[in-house]
Amino acid sequence: MSDSSLPQRPLDQTVFDEWPDAVRALFDGSSLASKTGFTASLLTVDANQHIRTSLLGIGELYAPDSRTLCIALWPQARAARAIAQSGRAALTFVFEEKFYQVQLLAAPLPAAEGDDSGLVYMNCSIESAESQSVRYARLTSGITFELEGGKGQVLDRWERQIEHVKRAAARA
Protein backbone atom coordinates (compact mmCIF):
# COMPACT_ATOMS: atom_id res chain seq x y z
CA MET A 1 0.00 0.00 0.00
CA SER A 2 1.47 3.39 -0.97
CA ASP A 3 0.94 6.71 0.70
CA SER A 4 -0.57 9.03 -1.93
CA SER A 5 0.56 12.11 0.03
CA LEU A 6 4.23 11.36 -0.78
CA PRO A 7 5.56 12.54 -4.14
CA GLN A 8 6.10 9.76 -6.65
CA ARG A 9 9.60 10.98 -7.37
CA PRO A 10 10.88 13.15 -4.53
CA LEU A 11 14.29 13.86 -6.11
CA ASP A 12 14.56 15.97 -9.23
CA GLN A 13 17.98 15.44 -10.74
CA THR A 14 19.35 17.06 -13.88
CA VAL A 15 22.61 15.97 -15.48
CA PHE A 16 24.41 18.51 -17.66
CA ASP A 17 27.70 19.13 -19.42
CA GLU A 18 27.10 22.82 -20.11
CA TRP A 19 26.26 25.53 -17.60
CA PRO A 20 22.54 26.21 -17.39
CA ASP A 21 21.84 29.78 -18.50
CA ALA A 22 21.13 31.06 -14.98
CA VAL A 23 24.37 29.58 -13.61
CA ARG A 24 26.36 30.93 -16.53
CA ALA A 25 24.91 34.38 -15.75
CA LEU A 26 25.96 33.93 -12.11
CA PHE A 27 29.56 33.25 -13.20
CA ASP A 28 29.70 35.84 -16.01
CA GLY A 29 31.98 38.21 -14.08
CA SER A 30 29.49 41.07 -14.05
CA SER A 31 27.58 42.84 -11.26
CA LEU A 32 29.79 41.36 -8.54
CA ALA A 33 28.36 43.65 -5.85
CA SER A 34 24.89 42.17 -6.35
CA LYS A 35 26.29 38.62 -6.07
CA THR A 36 28.25 39.01 -2.83
CA GLY A 37 27.44 36.37 -0.28
CA PHE A 38 27.44 33.57 -2.84
CA THR A 39 29.86 30.85 -1.81
CA ALA A 40 30.94 27.70 -3.63
CA SER A 41 32.88 24.81 -2.11
CA LEU A 42 35.85 23.68 -4.15
CA LEU A 43 36.71 20.09 -3.21
CA THR A 44 40.14 18.66 -3.94
CA VAL A 45 42.16 15.62 -2.90
CA ASP A 46 45.65 16.28 -1.59
CA ALA A 47 48.80 14.15 -1.85
CA ASN A 48 47.79 12.26 1.31
CA GLN A 49 44.40 11.46 -0.22
CA HIS A 50 42.61 13.80 2.19
CA ILE A 51 39.59 15.63 0.85
CA ARG A 52 40.00 19.38 1.27
CA THR A 53 37.44 22.13 0.92
CA SER A 54 38.15 25.70 -0.13
CA LEU A 55 35.38 28.27 -0.03
CA LEU A 56 35.28 30.57 -3.05
CA GLY A 57 33.36 33.79 -3.57
CA ILE A 58 31.92 35.13 -6.78
CA GLY A 59 35.09 37.20 -7.37
CA GLU A 60 37.09 34.00 -7.85
CA LEU A 61 34.88 32.26 -10.43
CA TYR A 62 34.39 33.11 -14.09
CA ALA A 63 32.70 31.12 -16.87
CA PRO A 64 34.01 32.36 -20.24
CA ASP A 65 31.76 29.92 -22.11
CA SER A 66 29.13 27.25 -21.49
CA ARG A 67 31.57 24.43 -20.66
CA THR A 68 34.39 26.19 -18.82
CA LEU A 69 35.03 27.68 -15.40
CA CYS A 70 38.13 29.69 -14.58
CA ILE A 71 39.11 29.83 -10.94
CA ALA A 72 41.41 32.31 -9.21
CA LEU A 73 43.34 30.92 -6.23
CA TRP A 74 46.11 32.09 -3.96
CA PRO A 75 49.29 30.18 -4.86
CA GLN A 76 49.80 28.99 -1.28
CA ALA A 77 46.27 27.55 -1.09
CA ARG A 78 46.04 23.80 -0.61
CA ALA A 79 43.53 23.69 -3.45
CA ALA A 80 46.02 25.22 -5.89
CA ARG A 81 48.59 22.55 -5.03
CA ALA A 82 46.09 19.69 -5.12
CA ILE A 83 44.66 20.74 -8.49
CA ALA A 84 48.15 21.19 -9.94
CA GLN A 85 48.95 17.63 -8.86
CA SER A 86 45.72 15.85 -9.84
CA GLY A 87 44.16 18.04 -12.51
CA ARG A 88 40.78 17.48 -10.88
CA ALA A 89 38.36 19.21 -8.54
CA ALA A 90 34.68 19.32 -7.72
CA LEU A 91 32.63 22.45 -7.20
CA THR A 92 29.46 22.38 -5.12
CA PHE A 93 27.02 25.20 -4.44
CA VAL A 94 23.39 26.07 -3.89
CA PHE A 95 21.70 28.35 -6.41
CA GLU A 96 18.04 29.00 -7.22
CA GLU A 97 16.83 26.32 -4.79
CA LYS A 98 19.04 23.59 -6.30
CA PHE A 99 22.18 21.85 -5.11
CA TYR A 100 24.88 21.69 -7.81
CA GLN A 101 27.83 19.32 -7.96
CA VAL A 102 30.24 19.75 -10.85
CA GLN A 103 33.24 17.50 -11.55
CA LEU A 104 36.00 19.53 -13.16
CA LEU A 105 39.12 18.74 -15.16
CA ALA A 106 41.63 21.49 -14.50
CA ALA A 107 44.80 22.86 -16.02
CA PRO A 108 46.91 25.88 -15.11
CA LEU A 109 46.04 29.06 -16.97
CA PRO A 110 48.85 31.55 -17.61
CA ALA A 111 48.29 34.93 -16.03
CA ALA A 112 47.24 37.77 -18.29
CA GLU A 113 49.79 40.38 -19.27
CA GLY A 114 50.10 43.05 -16.59
CA ASP A 115 48.56 40.87 -13.87
CA ASP A 116 50.53 41.45 -10.68
CA SER A 117 47.88 40.04 -8.34
CA GLY A 118 49.98 37.03 -7.36
CA LEU A 119 47.01 34.74 -8.00
CA VAL A 120 47.16 31.49 -9.93
CA TYR A 121 44.39 30.63 -12.35
CA MET A 122 42.90 27.29 -13.29
CA ASN A 123 41.08 26.66 -16.53
CA CYS A 124 38.48 23.99 -15.75
CA SER A 125 36.19 22.10 -18.07
CA ILE A 126 33.03 20.34 -16.96
CA GLU A 127 33.61 16.60 -16.87
CA SER A 128 30.16 15.82 -15.49
CA ALA A 129 27.63 17.77 -13.50
CA GLU A 130 24.25 17.52 -11.90
CA SER A 131 21.75 19.61 -10.02
CA GLN A 132 19.31 18.25 -7.49
CA SER A 133 16.23 19.47 -5.72
CA VAL A 134 13.41 17.84 -3.83
CA ARG A 135 9.73 18.65 -4.08
CA TYR A 136 9.06 18.42 -0.36
CA ALA A 137 11.68 20.98 0.73
CA ARG A 138 13.15 24.16 -0.70
CA LEU A 139 16.88 24.91 -0.49
CA THR A 140 17.09 28.52 0.61
CA SER A 141 20.86 28.85 0.80
CA GLY A 142 24.12 27.03 0.98
CA ILE A 143 27.14 28.52 2.67
CA THR A 144 26.78 32.28 2.51
CA PHE A 145 28.76 35.18 3.89
CA GLU A 146 28.51 38.88 4.44
CA LEU A 147 31.33 41.28 3.67
CA GLU A 148 32.24 43.37 6.70
CA GLY A 149 34.61 46.34 6.98
CA GLY A 150 36.45 47.05 3.77
CA LYS A 151 33.61 45.84 1.54
CA GLY A 152 34.60 48.36 -1.13
CA GLN A 153 38.20 47.13 -1.09
CA VAL A 154 37.10 43.51 -1.49
CA LEU A 155 34.78 44.39 -4.37
CA ASP A 156 37.55 46.41 -6.05
CA ARG A 157 39.94 43.44 -5.69
CA TRP A 158 37.30 41.08 -7.07
CA GLU A 159 36.71 43.35 -10.06
CA ARG A 160 40.47 43.34 -10.80
CA GLN A 161 40.67 39.55 -10.28
CA ILE A 162 37.80 38.88 -12.65
CA GLU A 163 39.30 41.21 -15.27
CA HIS A 164 42.63 39.37 -14.99
CA VAL A 165 41.00 35.96 -15.25
CA LYS A 166 38.87 37.11 -18.21
CA ARG A 167 42.01 38.22 -20.06
CA ALA A 168 43.81 34.99 -19.16
CA ALA A 169 40.82 32.93 -20.33
CA ALA A 170 40.67 34.87 -23.61
CA ARG A 171 44.31 33.93 -24.29
CA ALA A 172 43.71 30.21 -23.64
Q: Is residue 46 part of a domain?
A: yes
Length of the chain: 172
Q: Is residue 107 part of a domain?
A: yes
Find all residues with CB under 8 Å of 153, minimum gap 6, and list them: none
Q: Is residue 65 part of a domain?
A: yes
State residue 41's pLDDT score. 97
State residue 8's pLDDT score. 62
Q: Is residue 2 part of a domain?
A: no
Q: Is residue 57 part of a domain?
A: yes
State residue 138's pLDDT score. 84
Q: Is residue 97 part of a domain?
A: yes
State residue 35's pLDDT score. 96
- Structural domains counted in the chain: 1
The span from the CA of 5 to the CA of 31, in Å, is 42
3-state helix, strand, coil in the chain (%, to 5): 25, 40, 35
List the CATH number of the domain containing 86: 2.30.110.10
State residue 135's pLDDT score. 85
Q: Which of 73, 76, 65, 77 is nearest to 23 (CA)?
A: 65
State residue 60's pLDDT score. 97
How many whole angstroms from its chain centre is CA 22?
13
Read off the pTM: 0.88
Q: Is residue 137 part of a domain?
A: yes
Dump the DSSP string for 114-158.
Answer: T--S--EEEEEEEEEEEEEEETTB----SSB----TTHHHHHHHH
Low-confidence ranges of the chain (pLDDT < 70): 1-9
| Contact criterion met (CB below 8 Å) for 131 and 21 | no
Q: Is residue 129 part of a domain?
A: yes
Q: Which domain holds residue 88?
A: 12-143
